């Protein structure tokens, strides 16, 4: 069975997005260039930020369209992200799978934070 080991987001400015995700994850990229940045997350999963202007083959979408989900134990993340000025698309709400809110990164990718039931 195949297991995804990388998530690649197409971004407008990998260096700026790299700074955003370094602040968000609390860790620096393991690789960084003008066209690409790579983070190794807990558990070994990798998050790559690839310039939408240099990705091959060319990306069809202009931006966004991806949602990264983060499981958390409490509501502290919402308060921290709101205080930092991160745009919040959905205020904390209870859904079938638990309590959740949605923010957005500089390229329009959704960042869903949830506390499972």
CA distance 75 to 100: 9
- The model's pLDDT over 15-48, given as tens digits with 9 standing for 90+, comes to 999 999 999 999 999 999 999 999 999 999 999 9
Kindly list the domain boundaries of the chain, sorted by start residue. Answer: 1-58, 65-117
Has residue 61 got a pLDDT over 70?
no
CA distance 47 to 32: 12
CA distance 9 to 65: 9
What are residue 37's DSSP bridge partners?
32, 49
Higher per-residue confidence, 32 vs 117: 32
CATH 3.10.180.10 fits 65-117, yes or no: yes
Q: Would you place residue 1 in the very low, low, confident or very high pLDDT band (cuts 50, 70, 90)?
A: confident
CA distance 86 to 60: 26
CATH 1.10.1200.10 fits 1-58, yes or no: no
């Amino acid at each position: 069975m195949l297991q995804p080991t990388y998530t690649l987001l197409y971004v407008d400015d990998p260096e700026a997005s790299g700074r955003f995700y370094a602040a968000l994850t609390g860790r620096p990229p393991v690789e960084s260039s003008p066209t690409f940045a790579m983070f190794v997350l807990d558990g070994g999963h990798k998050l790559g930020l690839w310039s939408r202007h240099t990705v091959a083959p060319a990306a069809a979408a202009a931006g966004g369209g991806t949602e990264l989900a983060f499981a958390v134990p409490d509501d502290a993340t919402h308060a921290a992200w709101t205080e930092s000025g991160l745009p919040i698309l959905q205020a904390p709400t209870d859904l079938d799978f638990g309590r959740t809110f949605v923010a957005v990164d500089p390229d329009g990718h959704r960042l869903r934070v949830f506390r499972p039931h």
